[in-house]
Every structure is written in C-alpha cells, then in structure tokens.
C-alpha cells in the first residue's frame, strides 16, 4: 500500500479538504450531546435557566441573599448589580416584569461576569427563595414591626445563632451535589421572576426552541460536511483506481512474451479489476474513517472525562473488551485474505478456459467434467469467503451486545449518581451518547483495519505488475534504419533459450532474407520455427548472436520503429470486436473502401465479405467467434496487407485454408511482394505452401538442417525429403 502512495499525490488538495471537512463533521457530532444535555437539564429541569444569575431581582431578595454572603462576595455582588428605585424603572423592564412597578429592584450590569456571580449566588439564592416561600417566613413577617424586612430581622439575630443555622443548611446543601444545587438555584431564579410577574413558561419554551434550532443547524452543517466528504473521497478513490488501471494496462502493453509467461491472463484480469477495486474501496474508507474515527473517539473520551469522570471506568472496561475482540478477529481473518485472491485467480482461470474451450468440451462430451471443475473452484472460493464473512459478521453482534451492556451500566450507575445529586439526567444522556461514539469509532477503526490487510495483498499483486521490468526495452540512444538495405532480414549465429531453461531452443541460426523474395521455414513440431520468427519483431531477444533488419541490430532501434516495418499474421487468427472493416483497417486506419476491396481480393476474402448483407459493416464478435477459421485467417492476412509493411511474417497462417484458396492467396501475395519489394517470412507445415518460396530454411531440433530452394533441398536435405514424402507422392513432388 505504501508503494502506491504516489497515486495520491495528484489529490493532495482534495485530501486536505476532506480532512478539514471531517474535522468539522466530527466537531458537530461531538457538540450535539452537549446541546441535548442542555435541553434536558436547563430547558426542562431548570425551567430554561442556565445558572443562578438573575437579570432583575427585587431589593428584598437581593438583601436577603447578602445576609448569607461573606463581605468579599457582597462587594462582588454590588459591583455587578445596580439599584433602580420603583419610580425610575423604565417601560421595557416593566413590560417584562409588570409586578415590579411598586418595588425597588436590582438590575444586572451589561458587562457582568456571570460565571463569577453564579459561583457566589447559588447557595444564597437557594436560602433566600427557600425562606421567602416557607410558611415560617409568613409567620415571621406577621410578627415583625412594620417596615422591617426578613433580611433585617435575620441580621439582628445573634451571630452564634445565625452561624449555627447556616452551618446546618450548608450540610444539607452538600448532600445535594453540585448538579442538583445548580438546578435548584435555577428554579430559584424562576421563582423570583414569577414574583416579579415574568412569564417563565415563555422563557422555557424560547430556551428549548433556541437550543433545538442550534442543534438543527449543527446537524445540518454536519450533514453537509458528510455529503461533501463522500463526494471528494469517492472522486479520490475513483481517480486513484483509474490511474492504477491505466498504468497497469500501459505496463502490460509493454510486456514481452517472457513477462506474459509469468502472469496468467486470468491473474492479470483479476489484478486489473478485483484487486484495484479493493484498493479503491480502502482508499475511500480510509479517507472517511481513519481521520474521522480518532477525532470522534478521543474527542468523545475527553468529553466523557470532563462531564462524568466518576463513570469513566466503564469506558476503560469497554475498550479492553473491544481490543480483545479486534485482535482475535485479526488473528483469525488476516491469513485468509491472501488465499481469497489466489482462489479468485483460479476461478477466473477455470471460467475463462470453460468459455474459450466450450466447443471442445461439447465435442468430447465433457460438460460434466467442466461443471465439476468449475464447481470445485467455486466451492473453494465460497468456503473461504464464507468463513471470512462469518467471522466478520460476528464482530457487529458482539459490538451491539457491548453497546447495550454499556447503556445498561451507564443507566444503572448513573441513576445512583443522579440520586446523590452529583450527576444531572442530561449529563447522563450525553455520557451515554459519547460512550456510543467512542465504541463506534473503535468499531469503524477495527473494520478498516481488517480491510487494509486484504487491500495490502491486492496492492502487492498490482505492484508486482507495475514494478515488473520488461526484459525487452528500447535503447537509450536508438539508431535509425539504413534505407539502402531496406527489406533485408539477417540472422547471424543466433541462439535462443527461454528464461531458466537449461538448453537452447535455437542454436547457431544464420541466414539472410532479401526484399522481394519469400523465405520459408519448415520443420517438425517443436523444431523452433515460430520461436525463430518471434525474434524478428522482438517478442523475444536472441540469447546469442544478432538479428539484423536493414543492416541494423533490432536491439538498437525502438520497438515502435521496428514493428512499423512488420506486418504480422499470427499462428492463431485474432480478431477484435467491431466490424469486418474495422478489423482490416486495424493495419491502416486511413484505408478507403476502394483500398479495402483490393486488399480483400488479395487475401481471397472478397467472396465471403460480399455474401454478407452489411459488407464491411458486418459485426465481428469478440475473438471472431462468428466467422469460420478460414475466414478469420483471411481477415488477419488482409489486416497485415492493409499496413503495406516492409516485411511480412506469416506464422503458419494458411493452415485453415483449402488448397485452392491457399494457392490463389500465395500467388496474389507473390505478385504484391514482387511489386512492393516486400520481404516475406513464411512458416509452414504443408510442403505445398512453401514449395514456391525463393529460399527454404529447414529446422531440426533448433538447428538449421538445410537452406535452399525446393529442388535443392529434395536433392541434399534428408530432413526436408522426409517431410515432403510424408505429405506428397514422388509424382506430385516431381510435377511441382
């Protein structure tokens, strides 16, 4: 995977955008539980008040609070509030607090520090509102002289009695816990506002609507970020896979036959499709999870520790269980991923062989064997995938069980904390949501960690193709062909052996093919005929000696320049999906219909093309499966003729033709080559196809057994004589 990181470089800007958006998305997710906690705690339980600080307070309540404050706190309180006498209250304040019209009030200053005030006002406010709403307060007021307030009465109490009373109250407050005291103090604010005529129901509703609207806004922002992340990450993943496929295809295009022998066709298809798809999926998942999950996980963990530290041990236990499940899953699943890709290769190979060899399978009545062979490969792939998926599918139920157990534990232990007053219901709900976020972040990380090894196997397989150095490469300082020796093909003491082979396939081959002449190659099966002509277009490189074209070693020119001079008709006719015309024009895209007629006439293809209703527009199926073997060979020959090359190479390209068509085709080709002075290299199995060649090279076990014309070889080459007499009678050979 690391070796393929260069494919991410073009998307650096997009990746940075994704990371930024993921941070925004994570922050929105982390913010929502806090707002939910505020709605429950402040909006519902506390009546829409967040603290014990009052915007407006009656003078009686204010004075009563100061009784229970230290001198320093009284001074702080006086700094933040301003006394407004009843006759000086403005209309806006009276509109909000209509019952304050006959009372002196204290108004909070605009720049007041609410945090500092809340700290000093919680207990005094609770005491003040508690005294004012109690029955004892009413009895006490009835007994007091006119004009004396409760605050003044309490101040006149002996210090020892006052200290004893406040000490007992403090002990009761300490048992409530900070959370319960804050909620109670907020309700004290509500009581004071109601005494001044303020509509507290509206305050509560407005608070809930405000926080709810903020939650909706945050959720909308998170959704937009998530959608944008999905858009960019998908583009990045698709872009990486597109570039990978392009590079793999370009690399394979430059492979020589040696490299193709190292990778099967089925394996190359799997690497280009399934393996790169695995990489694409992991790139997308990594962008969306690897960055997002840690932010969510650690962010939620910090929130948990700040909000409910007393229950943090639950998260610790959960993380231990999660790590145990993840590590166990890794140990079971990872070894299977490498096996899966190889089994997919095998399945593709069997499927490809069954489809390409369908006619042979039917001809030999081996459909049952083909089904069993495919069934075996299919079952092996199915078994491993089933095992992997079963193990993977057990992870989510285990995680859901853990999540539900965590929820139960939080409710169980959180209820006790709520009862003690150290935890608010909203904080417990937020803690539960943060816990779920922590668990889900680790679940997501575990899932991507399981996917990464499989993608790593796929990346390794793709990288093997990308890093495979072709054995045949263009020279750094290429030469140019000598136009004075145009059409000359010369082998000088050429020997060739396949990689890792102990013996030479060809040994000490030397001959010269001249322009305007036909040089034929014949020999028994395995004598090296096809291997020899594959050295000319550099499908292989000679192990020893030199192959010269136009007087220049083929290793000293570029492969493109070399192959521009050659028109090749392979042993097996290969047609591409398209039309008859597109297949012939593959050799010359600019060929006109008139030129196609001439080419088809030389290739003896005019008759069967004319019999088609759509002529040159007749569709050709993939591999040419909708035409016969002879028609396929003639179209392949026509394609080579359309290129009008300097050198023709026919690798046993007339084997599917009848003798009449073969003779007519050879005659037309000879006339064309005499006219264009093209060189013809012809591999044949039939004596009748090569008898008229200007030069015949006889091969036997990779060595030249004789060179000459047909008549010369019949006189002095025993190998040629044996081949000739095995195919034709003496009379036929003599007549020829």
pLDDT of 735 over the 50 cut: no
Q: Which residue has the tokens 């000293």?
A: 556
Asked which of 142-146, 268-272, 560-564 is least confident by mean pLDDT, the reply is: 142-146
Instruction: Please answer whether residues 521 and 719 qualify as being in contact, where contact means their C-beta atoms are separated by less than 8 angstroms.
Output: no
Whose tokens are 């069954």? That residue is 354
Evaluated on CA atoms 526, 532, 533, 534, the torsion sign reads positive
SS3 707: strand
What mean pLDDT do residues 261-265 have?
A: 73
* Sheet with 506-513, side-by-side order of all strands: 506-513, 489-496, 544-549, 552-553
Among the listed residues 712, 728, 723, the one whose alpha carbon sits nearest the alpha carbon of residue 522: 723
What's the whole-number mean pLDDT along residues 499-527? 83
Q: Count Cβ atoms below 10 Å from residue 309 Cβ, excluding itself.
A: 9
C-alpha to C-alpha distance for 123 and 572, rounded to whole angstroms = 97
Calculate mean pLDDT across residues 491-514.
83
Say which range, 571-575, 640-644, 702-706, has the weakest mean pLDDT. Answer: 571-575
Residue 105 has phi, psi (to 5 degrees) of -130, 160
DSSP helix, strand, coil percent of the chain (3-state; round to 5): 70, 10, 20
pLDDT tens-digit map of 641-670: 888 888 888 887 777 677 777 778 778 888
Report how far residue 515's alpha carbon sits from residue 673's, in angstroms, rounded to the nearest whole number: 8
Environment class of 287 (CB within 10 Å of its CB; exposed 0-12, middle 13-18, buried 19+): buried
pTM of the model: 0.68
Looking at the predicted structure, is the pLDDT value of residue 452 above 70?
Answer: yes
Helix (H, G, I), strand (E, B) or coil at 508: strand
List phi, psi (to 5°) of 589.
-60, -20
Domains 254-467 and 477-565+647-736 share a fold: no
Distance from C-alpha of 553 to C-alpha of 655, rounded to nearest angstrom: 31
Which of 194-208, 234-248, 333-347, 697-711 is predicted with the least confidence, judged by mean pLDDT?
333-347
Beta bridge pairs of residue 490: 512, 548
Q: Which residue has the higher pLDDT, 24 or 360?
A: 24
Range in 47-56, 59-68, 146-155, 206-215 the model is least confident about: 146-155
pLDDT at 163 over 70: no
Pick from 302, 307, 288, 47: which is nearest to 179 by CA? 307
Mean pLDDT of 355-378: 81
Greater pLDDT, 730 or 183: 183
Domain range 254-467, its CATH number among 3.10.290.10, 1.20.1560.10, 3.40.640.10, 1.10.3720.10: 1.20.1560.10
Dihedral angle, C-alpha 32, 37, 38, 42, nearest 10 °: 170
pLDDT tier at 220, thresholds 50, 70, 90? very high
As a whole number of Å, the end-to-end CA separation of the chain is: 66
DSSP state string for 436-474: HHHHHHHHHHHHHHHHHHHHHHHHHHHHHHHHPPPSS--
Q: Which of 384-393, 504-513, 641-650 has the lowest mean pLDDT?
A: 384-393
Pick from 4, 105, 27: nearest CA to 61 = 105
Mean pLDDT of the region 315-336: 78
Counting residues of the chain whose pLDDT is more than 90, the rounded percentage is 1
Structure token digits, residue 242 = 């597109």
Q: Which of 96, 118, 106, 20 is nearest to 63 (CA)?
A: 106
Q: What is the mean pLDDT of residues 233-243?
A: 88
CA dist 692 and 680 (Å) reads 12
Residue 736 has a pLDDT of 44
Tell me: the pLDDT tens digits for 183-204? 777 888 888 888 888 888 888 8
CATH code for the structural domain at 573-644 = 3.40.50.300
What CATH code would you report for 477-565+647-736? 3.40.50.300
Q: Mean pLDDT of all residues in the chain?
A: 79
Interval 203-220 mean pLDDT: 90
DSSP 8-state code for residue 579: E
Q: Give the 3-state secondary structure of 532-549.
A: HHHCCCCCCCCCEEEEEE
Break the chain into its structural domains and give their ranges. 34-210, 254-467, 477-565+647-736, 573-644
- Residues in Cβ contact with 225 at an 8 Å cutoff, skipping those fewer than 6 apart: 21, 22, 24, 25, 28
pLDDT tens-digit profile of 265-304? 777 887 888 888 888 888 888 888 877 888 887 788 777 7
For 26-69, write each residue's pLDDT tens digit.
888 888 888 888 888 778 877 888 888 888 888 888 888 887 78
Which residues pair with residue 706 across a beta bridge? Answer: 698
Q: What is the pLDDT of residue 424?
A: 66
Integer Cα distance of 405 and 318 in angstroms: 9
SS3 sequence of 608-655: HHHCCCCHHHCEECHHHCCCCHHHHHHHHHHHHHHCCCCEEEEECCCC
* Residue reference for tokens 């192990």: 543
Predicted confidence (pLDDT) at residue 216 exceeds the cutoff of 90: yes
């Amino acid at each position: 995977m690391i070796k393929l990181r260069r494919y991410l470089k073009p998307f650096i800007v997009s990746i940075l955008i994704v990371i930024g958006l993921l941070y925004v998305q994570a922050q929105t997710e982390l913010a929502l539980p806090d707002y939910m906690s505020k709605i429950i705690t402040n909006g519902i339980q506390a009546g829409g008040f967040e603290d014990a600080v009052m915007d407006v307070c009656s003078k009686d309540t204010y004075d009563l609070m100061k009784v229970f404050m230290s001198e320093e706190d009284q001074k702080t309180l006086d700094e933040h509030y301003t006394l407004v006498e009843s006759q000086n209250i403005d209309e806006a304040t009276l509109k909000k607090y209509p019952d304050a019209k006959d009372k002196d009030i204290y108004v909070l200053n605009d720049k007041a520090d609410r945090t500092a005030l809340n700290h000093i006002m919680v207990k005094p406010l609770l005491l003040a509102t508690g005294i004012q709403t109690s029955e004892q307060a009413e009895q006490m007021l009835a007994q007091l002289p006119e004009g004396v307030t409760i605050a003044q009465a309490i101040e006149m109490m002996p210090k020892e009695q006052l200290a004893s009373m406040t000490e007992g109250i403090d002990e009761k407050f300490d048992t409530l816990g900070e959370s319960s005291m804050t909620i109670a103090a907020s309700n004290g604010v509500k009581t004071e506002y109601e005494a001044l005529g303020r509509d507290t129901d509206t305050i509560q509703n407005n608070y809930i609507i405000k926080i709810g609207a903020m939650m909706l806004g945050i959720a909308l922002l998170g959704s937009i970020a998530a959608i944008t992340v999905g858009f960019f990450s998908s583009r990045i993943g698709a872009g990486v896979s597109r570039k990978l496929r392009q590079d793999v295809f370009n690399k394979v295009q430059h492979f020589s036959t040696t490299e193709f022998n190292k990778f099967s066709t089925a394996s190359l298809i799997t690497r280009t499709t399934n393996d790169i798809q695995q990489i694409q999926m992991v790139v997308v998942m990594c962008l969306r999870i690897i960055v997002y999950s840690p932010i969510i996980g650690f962010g939620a963990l910090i929130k948990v520790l700040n909000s409910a530290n007393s229950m943090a041990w639950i998260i610790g236990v959960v993380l231990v269980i999660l790590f145990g499940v993840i590590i166990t899953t890794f140990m079971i699943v990872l070894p299977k991923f490498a096996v899966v890709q190889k089994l997919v290769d095998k399945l593709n190979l069997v499927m490809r062989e069954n489809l390409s060899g369908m006619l042979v399978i039917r001809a030999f009545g081996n459909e049952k064997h083909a089904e069993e062979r495919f069934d075996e490969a299919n079952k092996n792939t199915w078994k491993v995938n089933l095992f992997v998926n079963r193990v993977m599918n057990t992870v989510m139920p285990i995680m859901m069980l853990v999540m539900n157990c965590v929820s139960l534990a939080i409710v169980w232990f959180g209820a006790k904390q709520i009862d003690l007053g150290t935890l608010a219901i909203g904080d417990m709900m937020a803690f539960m949501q943060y816990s779920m976020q922590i668990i889900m972040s680790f679940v997501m990380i575990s899932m991507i960690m399981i996917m990464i090894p499989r993608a790593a196997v796929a990346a390794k397989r793709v990288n093997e193709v990308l890093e495979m150095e072709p054995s045949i490469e263009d020279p750094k300082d290429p030469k140019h062909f000598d136009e004075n020796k145009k059409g000359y093909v010369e082998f000088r003491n050429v020997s060739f052996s396949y990689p890792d082979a102990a013996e030479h396939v060809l040994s000490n081959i030397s001959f010269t093919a001249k322009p305007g002449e036909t040089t034929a190659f014949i020999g028994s099966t395995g004598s090296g005929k096809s291997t020899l002509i594959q050295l000319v277009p550099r499908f292989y490189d000679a192990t020893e000696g030199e192959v010269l074209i136009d007087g220049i070693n083929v290793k000293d020119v570029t492969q493109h320049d070399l192959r521009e001079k050659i028109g090749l008709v392979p042993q097996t006719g290969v047609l591409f999906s398209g039309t008859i015309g597109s297949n012939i024009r593959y050799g010359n895209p600019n060929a006109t219909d008139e030129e196609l007629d001439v080419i088809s006439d030389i290739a003896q293809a005019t008759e069967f093309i004319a019999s088609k209703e759509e002529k040159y527009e007749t569709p050709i199926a993939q591999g040419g499966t909708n035409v016969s073997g002879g028609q396929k060979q003639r179209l392949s020959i026509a394609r080579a003729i359309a290129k009008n090359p300097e050198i023709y190479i026919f690798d046993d390209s007339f084997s599917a033709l009848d003798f009449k068509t073969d003779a007519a085709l050879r005659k037309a080709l000879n006339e064309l080559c005499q006219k264009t002075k093209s060189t013809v290299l012809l591999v044949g199995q039939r004596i009748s196809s090569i008898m008229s060649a200007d030069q015949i090279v006889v091969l036997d076990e990779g060595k030249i057994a004789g060179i000459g014309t047909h008549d010369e070889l019949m006189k002095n080459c025993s190998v040629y004589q044996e081949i000739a007499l095995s195919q034709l009678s003496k009379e036929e050979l003599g007549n020829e």
